[in-house]
Structure 1
Amino acid sequence: MTVMTPLRDELNAGSLAGLPAHVQRPGYDRSAVKTGIVHLGIGAFHRAHQAAYTDDVLASGDLRWGIVGASLRRGDTRDALAPQNGLYTVAIRSGEGEDLRVIGSIGDVLVAPEGPDRLLAQMTAPSVAIVSLTVTEKGYCHDPATGELDEKHPDIVHDLAHPDQPRSAIGFLAAAILRRRMHGLPPFTVLSCDNLPSNGRTVHRILKRFAELVSPDFGAYVASEIACPDTMVDRIVPATTEEDRDRIRSELGVADAWPIMTEPFSQWVIEDNFPSGRPAWEKFGATLVEDVAPYEAMKLRLLNGSHSSLAYLGYLAGHQTVADAIRDPGIGAFVPALMNDAATTLQLPPGADVEGYKSSLIERFRNTALKHRTWQIAMDGSQKLPQRLLGTIRDLLAAGRPIDRPVLGVAAWMRYVAGTDEAGNPIDLRDPLAADLRQLADEAGLVADRLAPALFSVRAIFGTDLAEDSRFRDAVISALARIIEHGASAAAASAAAATGHLMGHGEHS
């Protein structure tokens, strides 16, 4: 691990000993740590979640699993952490107070565009056994509706033409796997920690197709030799604010350029498939299983589906944070009702307490200490809707059950895409498809039976089945009309109270 010269007045190796006694800090020799993991997408979530689990492993005495992180776009994380020797604070917040912990598992942060070859060299190091990812849904360069590689994605086109100068996570994985094979090194395990359905199988499918486009032989190698375990990750991590930085500085007595705010809850369910070895994460709270799918579906449909719905409805109604939105009477009644509908589509994991899980989610949403912004959750909706809401809707349609509640989340996203909230304030739409979505919305106008059909045309979100299903189309148009006419809170209250039954053949009560 890289250890740089300490700087004064900053959190770094030299200032650790002087931190207040209540601040937890690394007690192991960081200079003796080996790099066993390269992580692509070194954002706030990874630093609050996987890096914290790995810090526990290092503290237990197993020093093989240090992390080198990589940013695939910008250098802001590197710029913040490099002067701090990779150290940063995790502030665990609840209504009972705040616990501070300094994490030491990240030894270096690379910036891929500044030196692709340096990152590839690190991924090819013999000590590296795992390459993990939190690159968000859009970072997989795939079609969210089908889960297949988007072969026309500009980064994929570039990476196939310039394999030694990749831009995408998929391009880096393929180039590093090929180099390791050429050097006779065992392949690393690819560990996706993003909110994708069957994320391991999804990245394996995407990576295999990319490799096939390089050569049939390489495609066959990836298919047979590269392990991509499924995972489910869960922890709420709001964006850090200047107020957060100021308060952490007052607590530590030194500046931390990028502390991380999070909640006490953390969950990590992992398919135990690591041919080249792995840290003993299960000793520190992770769950190792044969089949992640039931856990993943419960989280995606109960937590993520309600989180996105709450974010769109809440933002439209003027609520800046999740805690404010869940306290809105209409939205607060709607979210648990939505969870109840989604729960009927689940095959629960062994011993699951679904009622307890739903109750815990509501309590987490009500955590006023987090200040999790609805706008942050609302980002990248085109990539999130298929797995968070549309899978639930498909299953409910197949069972002939009501879809009025989950389609309200879809309709709220459509109203959000229209570009203004209910007070007429402009919305800063952040989405890979933002330009196309705004053009469709602007041309249609804020009219439900024009706006919804225009957005149904985006096959990357809705596919062809939902876009052509009259039951789905009618329900979304009706929900969107209610939001436009009565507002998000009133529409949520109405949906929460609804008891209608889907009759099929396009008829709704």
Structure 2
Amino acid sequence: MQLSKATLTSLKQDPALVVPTPAQLELPEKVLQFGTGVLLRGLPDYFIDKANREQLFNGRIVVVKSTDTGGADAFETQNGLYTICVRGLEDGKEINEYIVNSSISRVLSAKTQWQQILEFAKSPELEVVISNTTEVGIVMSEDRITDEPPASFPGKLLAVLYERFKTFGGAADKGLVIVPTELIIENGRKLKEIVLQLAEQNQLEAAFINWINDANSFCNSLVDRIVPGKLGGSDLEQTAAWLGYTDELMIMSEVFRLWAIEADSPRVSEVLSFAQADPGVVIAPDIEKFRELKLRLLNGTHTLSCGLAYLAGFETVKEAMGDAAFNGFVTKLSKDELATGVTGVKITYEEACRFADSVIERFKNPFLDHKWLSISFAYTSKMLMRDVPLIKNFYSKAQQGPSAIALGFAAYLLFMKSEKEGTQYTGTVNGKTYVLNDDKAGILSQKWQESATTDDLVQRVLEDTGLWNEDLTHIPGFAADVKEQLNRLTESGAQTALKKLIKG
């Protein structure tokens, strides 16, 4: 039995399986979504579906697909229905729930059904536009509004807005709330700038450009949820057997969810009423706080942990978190140190610690196989962007060692010790050889070769302003701490260094 509207009444009744009501399948179309990817289906569409179940939003989504390949047939066969498996930890409890999401009404191909998309643009019930077209989706182009369809996402959006403007005569109350989720800073502002540029390029009337500015809200947003996508192998077979049906669109996500939307307009909050259904949706005048928490306490913890974890013999995040010493390291790193470093005018220490607690639970998720080697990609640039500001803040406030930060940085240095093989740089640890995916691998390799001692190596790396844009030896106490931890790593190994740090 395949999931579809026709088979909904035949699904098993179980508290762990959430099934839509017939009324949810008849809700009006209020959202135009560019993209069918798993992040959209696992986060924004998850929130909208939840709000529909609680009768807080009461609207479904028309999805625009850029290509004709992959997925559209499954959406049609299953009437837009798909199962999302939510798995992980929340407040110390294991979550394992299954939701048949009915938020998607239909999927239209931009290539072959562009006129239907423009027809939907005329709908008085349309209120919201959501997108995730990857980071390269929000770019300027030479699109013409008469193209069928325009090639770029901003071009398509401009055409939709123009159709709506003409249909309603520029009525102020027919503007849309537009929320891009592409992973670029100020995505809403950048999208608006490009749409306005395209409008000028297409020589569209001043009244329309004024309507874009005055009647439509382009909101910056930040999304955070790991959505690996399809289940694999035996997991898929076992899940399908338990559910009692097949689902070509089934996806899995972690429990943690965040969609921070920047807006201070009462109208935006009114239109995005799905935010009332889940604390994971935050509408605030300034979302920089959430960006900083994610960048520093999630991404920053990942970066300062990955080298150490791999040196200690752990392949995946969940495997490492099963080790008491490493678990203690992550807790000390994120709550005692990085939380101190991120605390400031906008973020309290208590807020930072709460977010750190959620990070620790996400690291422990038994359903995710997040590999440390994948996290080590672009290791040096991530260290610069995510952690160097925190290192400076922490040492300026605490000025005490040895720190978990120093151990994490020392492990980064040892992990980056490599030799060139052909066009690649490779390192070896615990008898395993790994490839460094880092554009600074050659520089670090050369510094290892030129250094007589590990202390010399630390000095050479920290003082290299080409790597860090400043001399990190000027951070009081940091160089000494890193030297101590690197000596311990090279002499006794990662496991001993971890236990020594935790015992104090």
- Displacement of 1:102 in angstroms is 0.8
Larger radius of gyration: 2
The structure 1 residue matched to 2:160, chosen from 176, 180, 204, is: 176
User: Structure 1 residues 376 and 306 mapped into 2: Cα distance closer, same or farther (>3 Å)?
Assistant: same
Question: SS of 1:90's equivalent?
Answer: strand
Query: Could you give the per-residue CA deviations for residues 20-51 of structure 1, whole angstroms, max 9, x where no partner exists?
Result: 21121101424522211122232222222221
Among all aligned residue pairs of Structure 1 and Structure 2, give the percentage whose two residues are the same amino acid. Answer: 23
User: Is the 1:309–1:412 Cα contact (8 Å) retained in structure 2?
Assistant: no
Count the aligned residue pairs: 448
Which of 99, 104, 117 in structure 2 is aligned with 1:101?
A: 99
Pairing partner for 2:363 from 343, 362, 365: 365
1:294 equivalent in structure 2: 289
Alpha-carbon distance, 1:246 to partner: 1.5
For residue 375 of structure 1, report the CA deviation from its aligned partner.
Answer: 6.5
User: Against the structure 1 CA distance between its residues 194 and 303, is the aligned structure 2 distance closer, same or farther, given a 3 Å change threshold?
Assistant: farther
Question: Per the alignment, in what secondary structure is the counterpart of residue 14 of structure 1?
Answer: helix
CA contact (8 A) 2:181 2:221 kept: yes
Whether contact under 8 Å (1:123, 1:131) holds in the other structure is: no
Where does residue 10 of structure 1 map in the other structure? 2
Structure 1's 295 and 126: CA in aligned 2 closer, same or farther, altered over 3 A? same
Which of 70, 80, 87 aligns to 1:76? It is 70
Change (3 A) 1:224 1:194: same
What is residue 59 of structure 2 aligned with on the other side? 65
Please state how far the C-alpha of 1:179 moved relative to its aligned partner.
3.2
Task: Give 1:6's aligned residue.
Answer: none
Q: How far is the alpha carbon of 1:79 from its aligned partner?
A: 3.8
Cα 1:60–1:239 shift into 2, 3 Å: closer
Instruction: Tell me which residue corresponds to 1:457.
Output: none
Q: CA RMSD in A?
A: 4.8
Q: 1:280 aligned to 2:281?
A: no
SS in 2 for 1:268: strand
Mapped to 2, the partners of 1:363 and 1:246 lie a distance apart of: 27
Contact 2:317 2:369 (8 Å CA) reproduced: yes
Aligned pair 1:53/2:41, yes or no? no
In structure 2, the CA distance between the partners of 1:113 and 1:264, relative to structure 1 (3 Å rule), is: same
Instruction: Report the 3-state secondary structure (helix = DSSP H, G, I; strand = E; otherwise coil) of the residue aligned with 1:257.
Output: coil
Secondary structure of residue in 2 paired with 1:54:
helix
Map Cα deviations across residues 413-449 of structure 1 (whole Å, 9 max, x no partner).
Answer: 989995757433568x7xxxxxxx77x86x8795458
Q: Is the 8 A contact 2:318 2:363 kept in 1?
A: yes
Q: 2:223 aligns with which of 220, 233, 241?
A: 233
Q: Deviation of residue 365 (structure 1)? A: 0.8
Deviations 1:217-242 (A, max 9, x none): 57666454431223343333223232
Aligned to 1:306: 301
Shift of 1:135: 3.4
Counterpart amino acid of residue 85 in structure 1? N
Superposed displacement of residue 54, structure 1: 0.9
Counterpart among 266, 271, 276 of residue 257 in structure 2: 266
Q: Which amino acid aligns with 1:108?
A: R
Alignment partner for residue 324 of structure 1, among 315, 319, 344?
319
- Whether contact under 8 Å (1:334, 1:493) holds in the other structure is no
- SS of 2:20's partner is coil
Deviations 1:336-380 (A, max 9, x none): 45535543234445895322321231122111123345577677x
Q: Deviations over 1:377-421 (max 9, x none)?
A: 677x69x967x9616535765898498688779979989995757
* Residue 185 (structure 2) aligns with: 197
C-alpha separation in 2, matches of 1:486 and 1:215: 65
The one-letter code matched in structure 1 to 2:2 is E
Query: Structure 1, residues 52-111: CA drift from partner, whole Å, max 9, x if none?
Result: 221122223467520122344573343433321111112122363522111111112234
Q: Give unmatched runs, 5+ long, in structure 2.
A: 400-404, 450-464
1:248–1:255 Cα contact (<8 Å) kept: no
* Cα distance change on mapping 1:413 and 1:105 into 2, 3 Å: farther
Deviations 1:128-162 (A, max 9, x none): 21111233444434xxxxxxxxxxxxxx4453698
Matches within 5 A, 1:24-39: 24-39=18-33
Give the whole-Å Cα distance in 2 for the aligned partners of 1:204 and 1:323: 40
TM-score normalised to structure 2 length: 0.70
Q: TM-score w.r.t. structure 1 length?
A: 0.69
Contact 1:301 1:389 in 2 (8 A): no
